[in-house]
Structure 1
Amino acid sequence: MAQASNRAGTQPSIVEQILDPANRADPYPLYAELRRTPVTREPDGTYVVSTYNEIVALLHDPRVSSDPRNHPEMAGAATTPAEEPAGLPESFIQRDPPEHDQLRELAMRPFGPPHTPERIEGLRPWLTEVTDDLIDDLAGRQRVDLVDDFAYPLPVTAICRLLGVPREDQPRFHVWADALIETLDVTTGGFTQRQQRRQQVAAELGGYLSGLTDAHARRPGDDLISELLTDTGPHAPMDREDLLSTAALLLVAGHETTVNLITNGMLTLLRHPDVLDRLRHEPDLVVPLVEELLRYEPPVHMLTRRSTLADIDIAGTTIPAGSPLMLMLAAGSRDPDRFPDPDRFDPDRTDNRHLGFGSGIHYCFGAPLARVETQVALPALARRLAHPRLVADPPPYRPNPQLRGPRHLVVEFDAIAQAAARADRVMAHGR
């Protein structure tokens, strides 16, 4: 979809206003207006769905395809094999059953729950150390950008550890993650152009991951790539190309969502100082608090690259087969027909089945990691930043409307408190 209306002399639609970067700081009034008509059709033929029940229904409907090859904008855009860039295949989240189901099961077995719950949960002590080290690096300063100085390096460090990436290569992953995220921005270029750029970036990343996979094949370790290579369960091992695309998926799914979740979380807490103070003194609050953040200020606002395989009747509208879909997750998570008082941030909210990580078979692959990282990061920031305050509200946002979050979150504070674990060591060992 285009960012601005191409219809001369006409008012931009609500969706076009949502996509406009000028409205990135607060799109929620526009979402409320959009929900008045649960299903709308944009001039380019995209059907936009904005209410909770209808979004959930479509996310669980086998007649909705996530395969870009079924997307109408790809029709006639296929290249010959000689013209195709040597990139990665589409990851399993961009495939339909049964292929999707088998690949997702293979990917989830070594990654996390329900098959290997200890892998992600076991990272908590290490993540606590990384988090404290990042905050320690802020000592001596009274103004920092929590995006660049904290929220970006934390998930990259975690993903690289999971994949077994050498520390010296971590900066390269940051660049690739940013480039891949840019190709998801529906406001930049056309669908086909974004697909081509995605393939170019994927070719660079795929070349690196291929070499990394060779190294782990020669000497397996306790990392995710090694376990995918050595898996002996049903349908294992995963094909090499699918293994590479799964590793690339984790880079994106476990990176940008976490950056936005941590940053949106701190922004929300600074706007709600009573909740920030509660978090300092009630450690158990962090679990429901993160879930409320996923509803109230989610890292993913909409899903695109979906299309219909058959006619679908929903909310009094027939969406014809072959239509592109845009599912407005953030609008659904503030639907008053599903959540009482939806525009209020309430970490004590019950029955909070939000759409922050989607729903259905394509539920976010990186969700378990993003949750744990945020549950570690936010309490540490709350405890250790003395009297934090925003320098600019609203902060500047990235232009991407799909993965919405501040580009910078500049915060002032009086001092950095010593980490509790480190203080205990000092008292016990005198150093």
Structure 2
Amino acid sequence: MAVDTLLERITDYANRPDPYPLYAELREAGVVRQTDGSYLVGSYYDIVALFHNPRLSSDPRNRAAPYGRPEAEGQEQLLPFIRLDDPEHHRLRGLATRPFGPPHSPHRVDAMRGEITRITEELIEALQGRTRIDIVDDYAYPLPVTVICRLLGVPREDEPVFREWSSAIIDSVDISPGEDSSERERVGLQARAQMGCYLVDLAEQRRGRPSDDMLSAFVNDPDPTGALSREELAATAALLLVAGHETTVNLITNGVLTLLHHPDQLKRLRREPGLLPGAVEELLRYEPPVHMLTRVPLTHVEVAGTTIPKGVPVVLVLASGSRDPKRFRDPDRFDPARTDNQHLGFGSGIHICYGAPLARIEAQTALGALLPLISTATLIEDPPPYRHSAVLRGPRHLPLGPVRGRDLGSDARIRRGRPSW
């Protein structure tokens, strides 16, 4: 097929279960212009170079006509820092980091380990006596949602409300060539505004009455130079709430599916639990939660002999780069013990994933606790139904059933959250 339709084929829902042959076709073709005018980049070294190129912008307002989005059309709503460039990106990311990580809050993420383990144990225990479970609804979704709610200070019972907003925001940033996305983007902007107002109201309730959560820290920062404006707080808090669970759901779910497809490696991880951290890194390379990101050249940029004009969107296919045979040995093999593994699962450069340390802990804890259970379960649907998004790729549901007619967890003895048959 013509290489100028690659983006259409990659984003076609029919190819959601296995886009990797298309990524191989992309790497073979090099940098290619698509029918919608955008450019696709799929090789590891080209993607890394572009991530570190200051002439590539994350801000959609730098897109040339006719590639503009609602943010470029007079919208006053502030963009989250992941969609801004330095120096504003650096300033806002720095303020967002103060209550989250070093140097101001060096123990925040590590202190969550016990809480994450406890939440995981509760979820595993709730699976006892079940003849069928859905890894997404019963485990992979509630774990990171509960964690990010605790971290930010959002009432867990409000999840039905912000789940609807979150879905609209995710839909709005999906890539759908040939489709009029203006309505999705309008709904996404509205959802982001509503979520921002909700989170700012929660934060304001804690002004002058600090508690141990990030929303409280944002409004009670004693450093006057470290204060977020109301609009900046809304954009930052909404970003953290959405990104704090959406990608981790995919990471855990893709991990379970991958292990079920590789029973030999599943057995190995049960024998050698010390491999779990490396297994999570390999999952970030082999089946990442985020498959592509878009950048915009601020001037003409040459990539692998191709000149990409100023303002024309460039789609960096991270999942393709992480399976590039020019960078990774035997890239289509899932190897939890892989050592040379500088994958693109969390991006690269100044916009590398803000929540990566937390996501790693959640995935390691979640998969470690789940290993005994999935060792005695079977996939009910293979491939399972996938989420619509080609950007945030993962199963929408992952139903598992029993082996040899045994109930999932029916005779399990829960010890530290791990069923033992």
Per the normalisation by structure 2, the TM-score is 0.92
Structural mapping, 1:43-62, within 5 Å: 43-62=35-54
From 2, 8, 25, the counterpart of 2:17: 25
Return 5+ residue gaps in structure 2 as ranges: none
- For the residue of structure 1 that corresponds to 2:29, the secondary structure is coil
Displacement, 1:385?
4.6
The answer to whether the aligner puts 1:149 opposite 2:138 as a matched pair is yes
Distance 1:216 1:418, change over 3 A: farther
Q: Does structure 1 retain, via aligned residues, the 8 Å contact 2:385–2:395?
A: yes
Task: Tell me the distance in 1 between the aligned counterparts of 2:69 and 2:238.
Answer: 26
Displacement, 1:176?
2.0
Q: Does structure 1 retain, via aligned residues, the 8 Å contact 2:3–2:34?
A: no
Task: Tell me the distance in 2 between the aligned counterparts of 1:75 and 1:151.
Answer: 32
From 313, 318, 328, the counterpart of 2:317: 328
Displacement, 1:164?
0.7
Which residue is 1:349 aligned to? 338
Task: Tell me the distance in 1 between the aligned counterparts of 2:277 and 2:331.
Answer: 19
- Per mean C-alpha deviation after superposition, the further-off stretch among 330-339 and 39-48 is 39-48
Task: Tell me the distance in 1 between the aligned counterparts of 2:170 and 2:58.
Answer: 17
Q: How far does the alpha carbon of each residue in 1:71-104 deviate from its partner, in whole angstroms, 9 at most, with x for none?
A: 2222898555xxx5x8x51111111111111111
- For the residue of structure 2 that corresponds to 1:182, the secondary structure is helix
The answer to whether the aligner puts 1:421 opposite 2:410 as a matched pair is no
From 182, 186, 201, the counterpart of 2:171: 182
Per the normalisation by structure 1, the TM-score is 0.90
Structural mapping, 1:153-232, within 5 Å: 153-187=142-176, 189-232=179-222
Distance 1:150 1:53, change over 3 A: same
Task: Tell me the distance in 2 between the aligned counterparts of 1:234 and 1:341.
Answer: 52
The answer to whether the aligner puts 1:370 opposite 2:376 as a matched pair is no
- For the residue of structure 2 that corresponds to 1:318, the secondary structure is strand
Task: Tell me the distance in 2 between the aligned counterparts of 1:258 and 1:118.
Answer: 21
Distance 1:235 1:150, change over 3 A: same
Displacement, 1:403?
0.4
Amino acid at match of 2:380: V
Task: Tell me the distance in 2 between the aligned counterparts of 1:250 and 1:353.
Answer: 25
Q: How far does the alpha carbon of each residue in 1:265-316 deviate from its partner, in whole angstroms, 9 at most, with x for none?
A: 0000111112212222322211000000000000000002x21001111101
Amino acid at match of 2:198: Y
Displacement, 1:256?
1.2
The answer to whether the aligner puts 1:412 opposite 2:409 as a matched pair is no
- For the residue of structure 1 that corresponds to 2:310, the secondary structure is coil
Q: How far does the alpha carbon of each residue in 1:342-373 deviate from its partner, in whole angstroms, 9 at most, with x for none?
A: 00000111120000011111111222221111
Task: Tell me the distance in 2 between the aligned counterparts of 1:280 and 1:95.
Answer: 43
Structural mapping, 1:266-281, within 5 Å: 266-281=256-271
Number of equivalences: 409
From 74, 80, 93, the counterpart of 2:68: 74
Displacement, 1:12?
7.2
Displacement, 1:109?
2.0
Task: Give the alignment's Cα RMSD to 1 decimal.
Answer: 2.1
- Per mean C-alpha deviation after superposition, the further-off stretch among 336-345 and 124-133 is 124-133
Task: Tell me the distance in 2 between the aligned counterparts of 1:91 and 1:76.
Answer: 14
- Per mean C-alpha deviation after superposition, the further-off stretch among 333-342 and 164-173 is 164-173
- Deviation above 4 Å: which 4+ runs of structure 1? 75-80
Distance 1:58 1:115, change over 3 A: farther
The answer to whether the aligner puts 1:107 opposite 2:99 as a matched pair is no
The answer to whether the aligner puts 1:261 opposite 2:256 as a matched pair is no
The answer to whether the aligner puts 1:287 opposite 2:282 as a matched pair is no
Task: Tell me the distance in 1 between the aligned counterparts of 2:234 and 2:70.
Answer: 27
Structural mapping, 1:81-100, within 5 Å: 84=75, 88-100=77-89
Which residue is 1:428 aligned to? none
Task: Tell me the distance in 2 between the aligned counterparts of 1:253 and 1:75.
Answer: 21
Q: Does structure 1 retain, via aligned residues, the 8 Å contact 2:41–2:47?
A: yes
